[in-house]
Amino acid sequence: MASRNIPLGIWCLQKCSTETRYRILVLSLTFMAYTSYHLSRKPISVVKEVLHQNCTLLSEDEWKPILTPEEANETCWCCYKPFDQANAKGLLGGLDTSFLFAYAIGMFFSGHVAERMNLRYFLTGGMLLSGLFTALFGLGYFWNIHSYAYFVIIQIFGGLMQSSGWPSVVTCIGNWFPKGRRGIIMGIWNSHTSIGNILGSLIAAIWVDDDWGWSFIVPGIIIAGMGLIIFLFLVVCKYTITIWIMAMQFYTRLYLKNKVQFLNYNQPKCNL
């Protein structure tokens, strides 16, 4: 009767071994972590459409309160400086190139760094800093920054921080799943790419027409928040938890043994 009141998820977890439970946890955490990486990369491709657009296509209600008809005939009066010039497409392409070049360079070094430090710390740091630089791009809108160099520098550091993700999550999966079972696991797990891109596009599209800075700030907050969850819950290697379980079992047996000895101890009676 009591078992009927147990939630189905808890019942399933009780049927799993301790190692299986941690495998599910690691798989879920790394999936959400790299989903947030892709989510935070997507806004730039959405916001490009408003950084440089044909302003003559806007409705009259949008420009009439602030512009004369003559001014409204200018095709880039609504573009965000410095992307309001004829070379805007080249400038926007430069942002992509800066990010991808930094990402490629970072991938050469992030794997070596990850092997020499705790992966949980490395992944957490990379996600927090990725969130910071993603948010800084959006804050440029609210701070009224129109320096192209600012956005290029943000993209470069953002690309470097983003390179911390793939080596870390792949290593974690390799630590927990044997080679014979990685095929199906990686097939399911690798869907984080598409899910992250979809979520990133949807989130960025919410604010793109009004305050596009939020299209970067919100994904930055999401990946930073996910980084804190990784710091609190990710177990990088199964041997870590195995040692912890063995230690707990040892101390539990030691405690119970000492408790039994204490209860069996014949204390001298006092003669009153």
Within 8 A by CB and 6+ apart from 25, the residues are: 233, 235
Q: Convert 225-249 into a string of H (helix), E (strand) and C (coil).
A: HHHHHHHHHCCCCHHHHHHHHHHHH
- What integer pLDDT is reported at residue 42 of this predicted model? 93
| Distance of alpha carbon 22 from alpha carbon 142, whole angstroms | 43
Cβ atoms of 79 and 52 closer than 8 Å? yes
Q: What one-character-per-residue DSSP string does the chain give? A: -GGGGS-HHHHHHHHS-HHHHHHHHHHHHHHHHHHHHHHHHSHHHHHHHHHS--GGGS-HHHHTTT--HHHHTSTTTTSPTTTTSTTHHHHHHHHHHHHHHHHHHHHHHHHHHHHTS-HHHHHHHHHHHHHHHHHHHHHHHHTT---HHHHHHHHHHHHHHHTTHHHHHHHHHHHHS-GGGHHHHHHHHTTHHHHHHHHHHHHHHHHTTT-TTHHHHHHHHHHHHHHHHHHHH----HHHHHHHHHHHHHHHHHHHHHHHHHHT--PPPP--
Distances, alpha carbon 179 to alpha carbons 22, 32, 183, 184, 185, in Å: 17, 22, 8, 11, 10
Which of 93, 61, 55, 89 lies closest to 75 in space, CA to CA? 55
CA distance 117 to 109: 13
pLDDT score at 247:
56
Task: Tell me the C-alpha distance between 215 and 47, whole Å.
Answer: 8
Q: What's the pTM value of the predicted model, to 2 decimals? A: 0.80
Identify the pLDDT of residue 257. 61
Tell me the two tokens of residue 145.
């920054």
Per residue of the chain (272 residues), give pLDDT as tens: 445 565 566 566 566 667 777 888 899 999 999 999 999 999 999 998 888 776 665 554 444 444 444 454 456 666 778 887 878 889 999 999 999 999 999 998 888 888 788 899 999 999 999 999 999 999 999 999 999 999 999 999 999 999 999 999 988 888 888 776 677 777 788 889 999 999 999 999 999 888 899 999 999 999 999 999 999 988 887 766 655 555 555 556 665 666 555 445 444 443 33
Q: How many residues does the chain have?
A: 272
Closest by alpha carbon to 120, among 244, 233, 245, 243? 233
